[in-house]
Structure 1
Amino acid sequence: MPNNNYDSFAADYQADNENNAWNAYYERPAILALAGDVNGIRVLDAGCGGGAHAVALLERGAIVTGIDSSAGMLNIAQHRLKGRAQLLLADLNNPLPFDEGSFDLVLSSLVMHYLPDWSLPLLEFNRILVPGGRLVFSTHHPFMDHQSSGHKNYFTTYHFQETWKRGEKEISMGFWHRPLHAMFDALKAAGFRVDVLSEPQPDPRTRELFPEAYHSLTTSPRFIFFSVIKE
């Protein structure tokens, strides 16, 4: 999403995302389980990337709209979904192009850690949800962020960089760490009530397929998952 040029490595990123331990065997199963029964409901996939979550939502009967700030990732999603979902270029740092109450559920996978300020995106998610609608999202676990960043003060909100290798490319990626209390404060200020906070375990198949990743995911925090309700 914002501040990172996914267009420069969209195909390599999506190829890795489809089958790696972190996304395919950990994040996607966990967030889809948290979303629950989506049959017949209107879902916004906020930060849809190449469409992996959208495909799963469609298979479960959801009416899906996807947004992303990367034209390259949206192009991949468009080819993959073949018109089964509405896809729009949109940046979560700006107001969203939807009317109030347009969605029953917003699902946002591994996007919030790219945003310097959660205030506007959360208020926009609240606005476009029906009363009692849910926002389900995953983000970097703040304890993971703080360990990997090397920053001295966990309790501040700060920006840090990592280098990713996808295919033959090395890309510098920027993220925003925020402490756990800041996440809760932002959600409350935007009119959400926390329903579920989850620190899930990976798919058991990861143990055989990706033993090193399995050990990491079962002993150290990686991502954190929220289900919150519009009050």
Structure 2
Amino acid sequence: MQEKVAKAFDQLAVAYASSVDQSSGHNAYYERPAMMKLLPEDLTDMTVLDAGCAAGWYTAQLLERGAAVTAIDLSQAMVAACRRRVGNQANVMVHDLSQPLPFEDESFDLIVSSLTLHYIEDWDSVLTEFRRVLKPNGQLLFSVHHPFMVYQQFDQQDYFARELLTDIWNKKETGPVEVTFYHKSMMDIVNSTTKHFTLDQMIEPQPSEDFIDQPGALDWYKRWYDRLMRDPWFLIVKALKT
């Protein structure tokens, strides 16, 4: 499974690096603004792990807020794109989150993981590792597919089934790319998280209106704003190591 995910995102790296920041409203106007609101404005003197860094958008934002950042991703092409974006300002490396993290205990003040964990079947192992490398009172902030969106969009017969699903992403830079991920129920997400962390907030984001005047944004808002206000696409969780 992880080889399939890595292959897909190696293919998608060129799209993430060249157009996703501006052309993907679900990222630029929806998930990212909601995630960034949950982060401190000043991250000076904080060590942060960007777990699933893709082409480095979050890595760059964390650096701008003053953090010392380590960024990891399963895809070699995504890691290369992240390095091109941030240069030597961050420690960027290839790593599979389903494997033990190559960091010492209590290395990080904060872990940010954007739209990554739904590509991993065993959350127990990755959350155990997240807890191990976080300092006392450290924070974990992650986003995933909203489970009810997946249930509706993929016409599942059993909402509670932990199921491997396949989607086709059609980007102008790549053409169609097959992407596989795991569906987990809300119950599974909450219980997996609270087994290792104290739940602080759960956010079902709403589209930000701050970007409606951006070039090319209006079509996305017309198509998606009302729909996402009714049916959330992503779920954001903020949790604490206590």
The answer to whether the aligner puts 1:25 opposite 2:29 as a matched pair is yes
Q: Give aligned pairs, total.
A: 230
1:140-162: CA deviation from partner (whole Å, max 9, x where unpaired): 00000111121100012111111
1:225 matched to 2:231? The reply is no
TM-score by length of 1: 0.95
**Distance (whole Å) between structure 2 residues aligned to residue 213 and residue 207 of structure 1:** 12
Aligned pairs for 1:3-152 (under 5 A) are: 3-4=4-5, 5=7, 6-19=9-22, 20-37=24-41, 38-152=43-157
Calculate percent identity across the aligned residue pairs: 36
Q: CA 1:205 to 1:33, structure 2 compared with 1: closer, same or farther past 3 Å?
A: closer
Partners of 2:16 and 2:54 within 8 A in 1: no
How far apart are 1:193 and its partner, in Å? 0.6
Give the distance between the partners of 1:9 and 1:187, measured in 2 at CA. Answer: 29
Residue number in structure 1 paired with 2:224: 213
Q: Structure 2 CA distance, aligned partners of 1:166 and 1:14?
A: 12
User: Any idea what SS the aligned residue of 1:121 has?
Assistant: helix
3-state SS of paired residue (1:61): coil
Q: Aligned to 1:226, what secondary structure does the other structure show?
A: strand
Distance in 2 of aligned mates of 1:13 and 1:165: 13
Distance (whole Å) between structure 2 residues aligned to residue 48 and residue 162 of structure 1? 21
CA RMSD of aligned residues (A): 1.5
Comparing 193-202 with 8-17, greater Cα deviation is found at 8-17
Please say if residues 51 and 76 of structure 1, whose CA atoms lie closer than 8 Å, have aligned partners that are also in contact: yes
Contact preservation (8 Å) 1:67, 1:90: yes
Name the counterpart of 1:172: 178
Deviation at 1:203, TM superposition (A): 1.5
Number of the residue aligned with 1:186: 192
Q: Is the contact made by 1:206 and 1:214 (CA closer than 8 Å) also made in structure 2?
A: no
Q: Is the 8 A contact 2:140 2:240 kept in 1?
A: yes
Runs of 4+ in 1 over 3 A off after TM superposition: 205-208
Shift of 1:50: 0.5
Point out where structure 1 has 5 or more consecutive residues left out of the alignment: none
